[in-house]
């Protein structure tokens, strides 16, 4: 297989390592910032500044899109022009209508398109989901999730908590409950003493009800001076027969017989996004976080933003980009 890695910024470097470790994988890179070429020194990896030139010369089998989110669609559409399968970083785009157009096109033209949603692939998140599916706490009854960090990052574009980080947590809510959102109330806030005067979404407060009636509360902050949670947050999952706490990447199962740390030794290894994408191509099936699936996560992101603007509880209308494989 030959991969075309597009965007060699902070996250692109991580993707380069993943592709190098994938075994039997040829790689070429597209990056407009020529100074980044030095990162490929001695690797024999072709470096291009033009995407179309790279596609035409290298004839890759798939493209990994690690450009800034406002560039994603332009790159995705160019890849689709060449019928290239795409593994795209989150979110599909910052604009919900634009994301829907990209996914609709991938579906209509039957081009595999997957979003690299990595938080639900953490082994402890997989384990939590497995315990819920096995009925370890009876029926799921409520979720409370918190995410706190002091994270000031210089980027060429604004980094909002909602669209940059909380989108992962909204996806985790869908994954853990196995349900879509039905109603949402959210507030984007720039708190007093925030490191950014302009950015609206530095703190985020969400109340969400799933289609099955599970209430979910979420607090997130990128300006928290209190102790930090992991990027995936800390979670309390309540059930009719018990509860599970995910704190600092460790699971505790609480039942009538007491609280016990969950031992994950011997659990099967979890495939990462690249592994899932390659498997979906090999097996000719829809990937777990295909664009079609992930649009439902972006629907939550969209309605959270609308809710915050309107200061109102909103019904979540699920997108309908089509039914074929994407
Ligand atoms: N899943 C995660 O945990 C995670 C973590 C960090 C970033 N990300 C995602 O990765 C993506 C990139 O983020 P980043 O932090 O690396 O950003 P970044 O700004 O550090 O890097 C983006 C790179 O893309 C390059 N670029 C811009 N336009 C381009 C174009 N037209 N063609 C090719 N390259 C282009 C830029 O020059 C830059 O080097 C974003 O979608 C972000 O949301 C995901």
- Could you give the residue range(s) of every CATH 3.40.50.720 domain in the chain? 2-117+272-289
pTM above 0.85, yes or no: yes
Confidence (pLDDT) at 326? 45
CATH architecture of 119-261: 2-Layer Sandwich (3.30)
Mean pLDDT of 155-184: 92
Report which ligand 1 atom has the smallest distance to the Cα of 89: 41
Mean pLDDT of 218-234: 97
Confidence class of residue 324 from pLDDT cuts 50, 70 and 90? Answer: low
Q: Strands (DSSP E) along the chain, which ranges?
A: 2-6, 26-30, 47-48, 62-65, 86-88, 113-115, 140-148, 181-189, 203-210, 215-221, 234-239, 243-247, 250-255, 258-261, 314-315
B/e letters for 147-186, b = 16+ CB within 10 Å, e = fewer, are: bbbebeeeeeeebbbbbbbbbbbbbbbbbbbebbbebbbb
- Reported as half-sphere exposure (CB side, CA atoms, 13 A), residue 9 has a value of 13
Tell me the CA end-to-end span of the chain in Å, nearest whole number.
20
Does residue 277 have a pLDDT over 70? yes
Q: What are the tens digits of pLDDT across the range 89-137?
A: 999 999 999 999 999 999 999 999 999 999 999 999 999 999 999 999 9
Pocket test for ligand 1, best of 14, 35, 66 (most atoms within 8 A of CB): 66
Confidence (pLDDT) at 133? 98
Does residue 174 have a pLDDT over 70? yes
Which residue from 81, 36, 93 is spatially nearest to 55, judged by alpha carbons?
81
Confidence class of residue 156 from pLDDT cuts 50, 70 and 90? Answer: low
Measured CA to CA, the distance from residue 314 to residue 306 in angstroms comes to 8
The answer to whether 185 touches 134, Cβ cutoff 8 Å, is no
- Give the Å distance between the CA of 233 and the centre of ligand 1: 22
Report which ligand 1 atom has the smallest distance to the Cα of 231: 3
Question: Residue 46 is encoded by which pair of tokens?
Answer: 């072709």
Q: Of 141-155, 186-200, 252-266, where does the model show the most confidence?
A: 252-266
Q: Which residue has the higher pLDDT, 251 or 156?
A: 251
Does residue 304 have a pLDDT over 60? yes
Report CA-CA distances (Å) from 48 to 8, 52, 88, 261: 11, 9, 19, 49
CB atoms within 10 A of CB 138: 14
- Could you give the residue range(s) of every CATH 3.30.360.10 domain in the chain? 119-261
Confidence (pLDDT) at 7? 98
Q: Which CATH number fits domain 2-117+272-289: 2.40.110.10, 3.40.50.300, 3.40.50.720, 3.20.20.70?
A: 3.40.50.720
Residues lining ligand 1, CB < 6 A? 6-12, 30-33, 36, 51, 66-69, 71, 75, 89-90, 118, 155, 164
Mean pLDDT of 140-156: 89
Mean pLDDT of 270-284: 97
- Per the prediction, the chain carries an average pLDDT of 95
Does residue 158 have a pLDDT over 80? no
Choose the weakest-confidence range: 54-68, 140-154, 275-289: 140-154
Ligand 1, atom 9: closest residue by C-alpha: 89
């Amino acid at each position: 297989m030959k991969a075309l890695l597009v965007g060699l910024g902070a996250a692109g470097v991580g993707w380069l390592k993943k592709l190098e470790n994938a075994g039997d994988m040829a790689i070429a890179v597209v990056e407009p910032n020529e100074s980044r070429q030095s990162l490929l020194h001695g690797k024999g990896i072709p470096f291009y500044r033009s995407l179309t030139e790279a596609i035409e010369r290298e004839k890759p089998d798939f493209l990994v899109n690690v450009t800034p989110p406002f560039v994603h669609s332009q790159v995705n559409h160019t890849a689709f022009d060449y019928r290239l399968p795409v593994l795209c970083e989150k979110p599909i785009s910052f604009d919900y209508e634009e994301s829907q157009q990209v996914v609709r096109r991938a579906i209509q033209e039957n081009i595999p398109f997957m979003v690299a949603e990595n938080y639900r692939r953490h082994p402890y998140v997989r384990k939590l989901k497995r315990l819920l599916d096995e009925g370890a706490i009876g029926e799921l009854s409520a979720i409370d999730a918190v995410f706190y960090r002091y994270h000031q990052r210089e980027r060429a574009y604004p980094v909002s908590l909602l669209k940059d980080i909380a989108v992962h947590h909204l996806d985790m809510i869908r994954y853990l409950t196995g349900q879509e959102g039905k109603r949402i109330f959210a507030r984007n806030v720039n708190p007093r003493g925030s490191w950014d005067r302009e950015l609206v979404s530095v703190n985020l407060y969400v109340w969400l009800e799933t289609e099955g009636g599970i209430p979910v509360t979420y607090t997130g902050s990128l300006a928290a001076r209190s102790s930090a949670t992991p990027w995936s947050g800390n979670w309390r999952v309540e059930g009719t027969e018990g509860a599970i706490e995910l704190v600092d990447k460790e699971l505790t199962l609480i039942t009538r017989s007491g609280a016990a740390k969950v031992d994950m030794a011997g659990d099967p290894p979890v495939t990462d996004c690249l592994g899932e994408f390659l498997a979906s191509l090999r097996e000719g099936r829809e990937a777990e976080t295909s664009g079609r699936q992930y649009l439902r996560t972006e629907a939550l992101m969209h309605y959270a933003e609308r809710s915050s603007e309107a200061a109102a509880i909103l019904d979540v209308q699920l997108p309908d980009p089509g039914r074929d494989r994407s």
